[in-house]
Amino acid sequence: MKYITTLLVAVLILPIATRGLKAQKYHSDNGNGTYTNPVIPADFPDPDVIRVGNTYYMVNTTMFIFPGVTILKSHDLVNWQYCCNAVQRFDFSPCYDLDGGNRYGHGQWASSLRYHNGKYYLLFITLDEGGFLSTATNPGGPWKIRHLPRGFYDASLLFDTDGKIYVAHGNTQIYVTELDKNFAPAGKDSLVFTGDIRHGLEGTHFYKINGYYYLYSTYGGVDGIQVALRSKHVYGPYEEKVVMRDTTRGINFGIHQGALVKTQTGEWWSMLFVDQGAFGRFPSLQPVKWIDGWPIVGIDGKAVITYKKPNVGKNYPITKLPISDQFDSPKLGMQWGWNHNPDSTNWSLTERHGYLRLKTAKVVSELPQARNTLTQRIFAYYSKHILSTATTKMDIRHMRNGDVAGLAVFQ
């Protein structure tokens, strides 16, 4: 199930200017050494997390929103900030310009983020264009993207200790494929496991820990079965264990699909997500305890809601992701993204200081066809029920009869 939910400011016919977007309290850190899940109450799905030194990086799915492939950074796994958007635009099909088609429900899926020998790697797929690899020496960019000979569904990279590179991938049937130095297949796909609990085993993350190869995967669905597969050999045979099976109260689908990460102090944690329907998929941070070589997630396989923060060696201040904007900078904030590629000739932050000016790129009859539709994730705030509020100010003095512009929820 792949979708994205955002607030958007749209222009269909005529130029408008817009400013301001607010929400209420929405940070996870309770200020007393504990945190409350979700760690980010907004749509940051399919997380992959790594630690480099004292900094954690998390990448998420952004599909048809650009700039996209959002990377966040944190020092404690609870308080996150924007690091960069690794892909500024996607020019591999005119559909990303809403020209002759679109990429709704498609675009970038489930990136694998890795750090190896001084370089950062992002491997991801689009269902229509195939596989892509982005690389950078600085996580903040610039990132260099290239089209790969083939794509892999829900792929996860592994740089093995013997210098070989592998990718784990697939749905229900999980494969391992060796890659050459150019990240092209070095041989045939090897089927290493077929999901036997139910259909839909996917979202695999590939690790080598204490001599074992681990495929950390999910069956998804209402009860969100998270499993670990392990083997002493990269091509198996793999044995399977359910490491988490839980439906947290108040959510639509169980906690599932994500990454394992080890802190500087030796603790293990898992960043997964919970599906909140129209609000999106929220990251959920769960403790991990290794028992007999298996990463048991949460408390005995059940999710924690409020829990002690990870021990990362020191305390860090509470940080909040930006959601409001006065548009007083010449550069668009990283909380914003365009619905498909923008037409850069028809929007401006400098023509009128303190305003975003949107100009009609093309007259269209329906909102999904409109170019330069600016979006932002819906942020919920912590309360008994999932709630969110948003406001915007618009200068509509130059609109004419029949013109349409405004604020909408877009899924």
| DSSP calls for 339-406 | ESS--GGGEESSSSTT-EEE--SS--SSGGG-SS-EEEEPPPBSSSS-B-----EEE-TT--TT--EE
Among the listed residues 29, 46, 97, 246, the single catalytic one is 46
Residue 248: predicted pLDDT: 58
What residue type is 158 in one-letter code?
Answer: L
Residue 410's domain comprises: 1-26+320-411
Same domain for 268 and 408, yes or no, is no
Residue 381: predicted pLDDT: 67
Q: How far apart are CA 83 and CA 283, in angstroms?
A: 17
Q: How far apart are CA 35 and CA 310, in angstroms?
A: 9
Same domain for 11 and 102, yes or no, is no
CATH of the domain at 144: 2.115.10.20
Same domain for 274 and 366, yes or no, is no
Task: Show the tokens assigned to 148.
Answer: 């790969």
Radius of gyration of the chain (CA): 21
Residue 125: predicted pLDDT: 96
Residue 410: predicted pLDDT: 76
Same domain for 145 and 228, yes or no, is yes
Sequence-ordered list of residues with C-beta below 8 angstroms from that of 319, at least 6 positions apart, any chain: 27, 79, 80, 81
Reply yes or no on whether 246 is catalytic: no
Residue keyed to tokens 């150019």: 182
In this structure, the dihedral spanned by the alpha carbons of residues 183, 263, 333 and 251, taken in order and rounded to 10 degrees, is 100
Residue 361: predicted pLDDT: 75
Same domain for 43 and 136, yes or no, is yes
Asked if residue 231 is part of any domain, the answer here is: yes
Same domain for 287 and 369, yes or no, is no
| Residue-wise DSSP of 177-216 | EEE-TTSSBSS--EEEEE--SSS--EEEEEEEETTEEEEE
Same domain for 349 and 251, yes or no, is no
Task: Show the tokens assigned to 64.
Answer: 């048809």
Same domain for 44 and 81, yes or no, is yes
Same domain for 298 and 381, yes or no, is no
Asked if residue 315 is part of any domain, the answer here is: no
Q: Per the structure, how many domains does the chain have? A: 2
Reply yes or no on whether 202 is catalytic: yes
Q: How far is CA 174 from CA 111, 211, 217, in A?
A: 17, 20, 10
Residues of the chain with pLDDT under 70: 1-26, 221-222, 247-253, 381-386
Which of helix, strand or coil describes residue 238?
coil
Among the listed residues 29, 48, 178, 202, the single catalytic one is 202
What residue type is 87 in one-letter code?
Answer: V
Same domain for 11 and 41, yes or no, is no
Asked if residue 314 is part of any domain, the answer here is: no
Task: Show the tokens assigned to 208.
Answer: 């080598």
Asked if residue 87 is part of any domain, the answer here is: yes
